[in-house]
Amino acid sequence: MENERQDSVVRAITDDGSFRVVALRTTDTVRSIVAAQRVKGDEARWLGELVTGTILVRETMAPDLRVQGVLQSAIGRDSLIADSHPDGGARALVQRTRGGSLVLGDGAVLQVTRTLPRGSAHKGVVRVTSGGVSASLMAYLQESEQVASAIAVCTVMDGDEVVAAGGYLVQLLPELGEGQLAVMTARLEDFPPMETLLRDDATTPATLLAELLYLMPYAVVGTGAVRYQCRCDSQRLRATLGTLPPQELESLIAEGKDLEIECDYCHVEYRFPVAELRSLLAVD
């Protein structure tokens, strides 16, 4: 039996075709990402919410494809980037250009990019609203995807420590009637805040789903694991080095030192000896 305290996602649809609901736990994933990116405070909270929200969008709009979410600061070009893949792996990156902290406020934007089956991309950009990441994700789905939904994502912090993270998405489907809409609207208005739910050790994606759809018959249509996973590896980096122009490789070799490359996502360091660089230059 799957450990209910592990990060996971559950997707369901009501029997009458009124709602699609996705609920997930991302505590361990967010905790690992925040540690890898060495962020604290509000930046850690926003990064966790962006990661959770990006996974929710992928699970709803493109479960078999990659989705990337970007929060760009209202000041400068600082940004938070979340990357969600169909195998359940997620990673994130903090990009700073001015040495300060990310500022969300007037002028900040949320960009969501999802891949399409033939490799092209669908990109949507919305202004970050006063409701934060949750409200901005709802605006994105409404404006860019024409999908009416309710989203709640949350990162619970204790100082600079991630205590819990997760969220849910309720999507309104074409079969929705006025009666069902009124019931769900009232339920969401009275629903406990995500922070309260996440602080309860009994809350899992399955229990969250059951509470959202209380007395509404539904079927679970998908489940999956969620985890922190960087996509870097030495073979991929070596292949990238092999695409460099010969003069650039010659310049690196002339320095007479091993080439050290650190992954921005996980900060793992890769070392390529001069002899290996010479072998890349020898490849036709």
In the predicted model, is pLDDT for residue 151 greater than 90? yes
Per the structure, the count of domains in the chain is 2
Q: Are 252 and 218 in contact (CB under 8 A)?
A: no
269 and 175 both lie in a single domain: no
Which pLDDT score is estimated for 1?
Answer: 37
The structure's pTM equals: 0.90
* Mean confidence (pLDDT) of the chain: 90
268 and 242 both lie in a single domain: yes
Q: Is residue 120 part of a domain?
A: yes
Domain boundary among 193, 210, 228: 228
In the predicted model, is pLDDT for residue 219 greater than 50? yes
Which pLDDT score is estimated for 115?
Answer: 85
Mean pLDDT for the stretch of residues 7-12: 97
12 and 110 both lie in a single domain: yes
91 and 210 both lie in a single domain: yes
Q: Is residue 171 part of a domain?
A: yes
Higher pLDDT, 103 or 81: 81
Range of the domain at 256: 234-282
Which pLDDT score is estimated for 2?
Answer: 44
In the predicted model, is pLDDT for residue 264 greater than 50? yes
120 and 167 both lie in a single domain: yes
What the block records as the tokens of 264 is 């921005």
Q: Is residue 168 part of a domain?
A: yes
What Rg, from alpha-carbon coordinates, does the chain have? 21
CATH of the domain at 261: 3.90.1280.10
In the predicted model, is pLDDT for residue 149 greater than 90? yes
**Nearby residues of 242 by Cβ (< 8 Å), 6 or more positions away:** 280, 283
Which pLDDT score is estimated for 175?
Answer: 85
pLDDT tens for each residue of 174-194: 888 888 899 899 999 999 999
pLDDT band of 16, cuts 50, 70, 90: very high
Which pLDDT score is estimated for 244?
Answer: 86
Q: Which of 84, 91, 111, 88 is nearest to 34 (CA)?
A: 91
